[in-house]
Amino acid sequence: MAKKILIVDDDEEDRELMGSFLKKDGYEVVMAGNGAVALDLLGVNEVDVILLDIKMPTLSGYDFSRLLKWRSNKKIKIIYVSIVPRKEVDMGNVDGFIQKPFSSGVLLKTVKEVINKR
C-alpha cells in the first residue's frame, strides 16, 4: 500500500511541485493551503508524513506542529519545507527539514529517510 503524504504550503506552485514529484515516486498525496485546512484533512485522512511550510497565514508551521502534537495521540512524522535557513528553525517537534528551493532528489531522499526512521 502506498504511503500517504500531506503537503501543507500556502504557495500553490510549491504544493503542486512537491505533489508531482511524490506521485511520480508512487506516494499518495493530499494537499492543504494552510494549517487550519490541514487539521480538517487529518480528521478524515490517515497520513504517514506531513510536509509542512513554516511561514503560512492562518496557522504557521510551528503552531500547526504544536497543535497536532497536543491534539493527536498518534505520532505523525513531520518534515519542515521552508525558505527559512535550517539554523534558524526550531526542530523540536519535527523529524526532518528541506530547504527551499529544493530538487526532486532531495525531497524524495528526505521523505524516504523520515518514513524509515523508527
The tens digit of pLDDT for each residue in 38-72 reads 999 998 989 999 999 999 988 899 999 888 877 76
User: How far apart are the C-alpha atoms of 52 and 71, rounded to whole Å?
Assistant: 17
DSSP per residue, 2-42:
--EEEEE-S-HHHHHHHHHHHHHTT-EEEEESSHHHHHHHH
Whether 110 is covered by a domain: the verdict is no
Whether 38 is covered by a domain: the verdict is yes
User: How far apart are the C-alpha atoms of 109 and 92, rounded to whole Å?
Assistant: 21
Whether 9 is covered by a domain: the verdict is yes
In the prediction, which pLDDT does 73 show?
61
In the prediction, which pLDDT does 113 show?
96
Whether 90 is covered by a domain: the verdict is yes
Residues of the chain with pLDDT under 50: none
Whether 20 is covered by a domain: the verdict is yes
In the prediction, which pLDDT does 117 show?
85
Residue 111 in contact with residue 22, Cβ under 8 Å? Answer: yes
Whether 112 is covered by a domain: the verdict is no
Please, what sign has the CA dihedral across residues 92, 76, 55, 7?
A: positive
Whether 117 is covered by a domain: the verdict is no
Domain, as residue range, for 38: 4-99
Question: What CATH number is attached to the domain comprising 94?
Answer: 3.40.50.2300
User: How far apart are the C-alpha atoms of 32 and 15, rounded to whole Å?
Assistant: 8
Domain count, the chain: 1
In the prediction, which pLDDT does 72 show?
67
Whether 19 is covered by a domain: the verdict is yes
In the prediction, which pLDDT does 21 show?
98
In the prediction, which pLDDT does 5 show?
97
In the prediction, which pLDDT does 23 show?
98
* pTM (2 d.p.): 0.93
